[in-house]
A and B are shown apart, each in its own frame.
Chain A
């Protein structure tokens, strides 16, 4: 039996097998994929811990069951509810599809932020439910396992605003709690998530 020497006979020097994480293509590790099918919510209730310093949720083609509702997120901080206290900001740039109207804007949206609120936080606002409408984007959650600091998060969403505008939406805030965040739940403010996919990744090296 011939032994190949592609690793310069270093085969005899191997003392441990690589971990699964080390074999990942780059250091954005897919942890969970949730696919909506007329779903009341998409919930990530495991794998959010101290393994990674930060986590990214990428949401694709989130199509609401009801026109003009809010795509929103809540965080779990120790109980079974996704009601961690949050203070957030929300602003967006928008542009009308109707060239004859051609309205555009950049402005803060006071009805879409929270001040120490425990309700769900809007990620994509008034999402259209025409067959071809949806929202896409990503949410970055930093250091959810910390029991010292508040937990920061930032999201950017490209959204089909239901009255046929494109909106580039920026949401950011923090869970104003020192308890660890161990769950994240996405839902619509009314009706279901008719279809769409959300993927959760761990970012970078394992702590």
Chain B
């Protein structure tokens, strides 16, 4: 007869190794170095903006992780040819106006063939405090959207600028397959603690943005 109700089953499932426990798992999930820990998923439904703000709604965006990864899953714009842009905050979302500099190049190919390119895009790179483009001219046919990912390095640093890189693939409004590669940095020594995403003309009709932390050693 178990000492505590159900204990016999718990011991069975743990192969009796419960006696060997020496530490408790971390809140981060107990993964090893490089493990990807899901933090928050935002699901769009006609939203004007989507934000990750440290300390709000379960979001962690601080020195808990040295690297953060964001995945974009089928972000569908309400307006055809819209630009998905982003910005950073150093005051937990009160203002999204930090200084940034980016590069932006792309590779494109028309569904109708004949139009191919790999090129730097001077109209989409950025220097300034406004919103920067990571996915230009996204189509809004019913089956069009973009997906991809972005990595943000050490946002909590108060010494260095904050680097980020994104790789996106989109169904362009002109029926092109377009992959875009953006790299840049937040030109501030203040910690970045919030990120916003916005379509410039309409809204984010649907899609998901998922925030992950990558565990350090």
- Residues of chain A having any CB pair with chain B under 8 Å: 1, 3-4, 6-7, 11-12, 14, 17, 22, 24-28, 53-54, 87-91, 106-108, 110, 113-116, 140, 142-143, 146, 148-150, 152-154, 170, 172-174, 176, 178, 203-205
Contacts and interface: CB of A to CB of B under 8 A. Distances in A.
Interface of B: 3-4, 6-7, 10, 13, 18-19, 21-24, 29-32, 34-38, 41, 71, 73-74, 76, 107-114, 116-118, 142-149, 167, 169-171, 176-179, 181, 208, 210, 212, 215
A7 B71 CA distance: 34
Given A89-B178, A89-B179, A154-B179, 6 more contacts: A3-B3, A3-B4, A3-B7, A4-B19, A25-B32, A149-B74
21 contacts: A1-B3, A4-B21, A17-B13, A26-B34, A26-B35, A87-B176, A88-B109, A89-B109, A89-B178, A107-B118, A108-B117, A115-B112, A115-B113, A150-B144, A152-B74, A154-B167, A172-B179, A174-B169, A203-B36, A203-B71, A205-B41
Given A4-B19, A7-B24, A54 B147 contact: yes
Contacts, number: 150
Given A53-B73, A173-B169, A178-B143, A6 B37 contact: no
A204 B143 contact: no
A26 B32 contact: yes
B171 to A, nearest CB: 5
